[in-house]
Amino acid sequence: MVKLTDLPEYEREHLLSKNGSPLGPSVWTDRKKPVSDLRIALITTAGIHIRGAEAFNFTDASYRPISKDQKAKDIVMSHSSVNFDKTGFVEDINVVFPLDRIHELAQSKKIGSVADVHYSFMGAGLEPEAFEQTAAQVAGLLKQDQVDAVLLTPV
C-alpha cells in the first residue's frame, strides 16, 4: 500500500475526496436459517469479468455477472489502481473472488448452496451513490436466485 504523500497529486485528491460521512447506520438482520442451509452469492468490487466481455473503466457503475460454473482461467481483471497489487489475483483468483472455496463449502455441507450467478463491480472510481441503480438491479437478481446471503469481497 502506498502512502498518500507518494501518490501523484491528482490521485491523492481523488482519494481524499472520498473521505465522506458514513452512509448511515448498519442494518442488522437476524438470520432465519442456519448457515448450513444458506444459499450464498459472491459480490466483488475487484473489477473482474469473463475474458472477452466488456472491460470495466475507472468510472463504471455497471456490473458483470459471473456464472457459478465459470472457470477461473476465463476470469480476468480490469481493475486499475496504483493502490492495488494484482499479484494475489494472478496467482490465485480465490484471493479476491473465492469461487472455488465457496463450492468447497457447499460440497462439505458447511453452506446450503451456491448461487447460480455472482456479480462483480468496479471499485474505487465512484462515490457509493453512483451504484444505487445497479445495486438495486443486482438485489432483484439475487432475490430471483433465492440468495440468502452475500459474501462481499471489497477491493
pLDDT at 82: 60
For residue 37, give the C-alpha cell.
Answer: 442451509
Q: Which amino acid is at 35?
A: V
Distances (CA, A) of 132 to 88, 94, 129, 142, 146: 29, 27, 6, 15, 21
Q: Give the number of C-alpha atoms closer than 13 A to the C-alpha of residue 109, restricted to the C-beta side.
A: 0
Chain centroid to CA 27: 19
Q: Rounded to an integer, what distance in angstroms lies between the CA atom of residue 14 and that of residue 17?
A: 5
Between 149 and 25, the higher pLDDT residue: 149
Average pLDDT over the chain, rounded to an integer: 89
- DSSP string covering 24-43: SPPPP---SS-GGG-EEEEE
DSSP secondary structure letter of residue 74: G
- For residue 148, give Cα distances in angstroms to 20, 56, 94, 141: 30, 27, 21, 12
Least confident of 7-21, 79-93, 141-155: 79-93
pLDDT tens digits along 46-97:
999 999 999 998 889 999 999 999 998 899 998 766 666 777 777 888 998 9
For 93-122, the pLDDT digits (tens) are 899 899 999 999 999 999 999 999 999 999
pLDDT of residue 75: 93
Of 29, 30, 33, 28, nearest in space to 146 by CA:
33
Residue 105, amino acid? L
- The pLDDT score that the predictor gives to residue 84 is 66
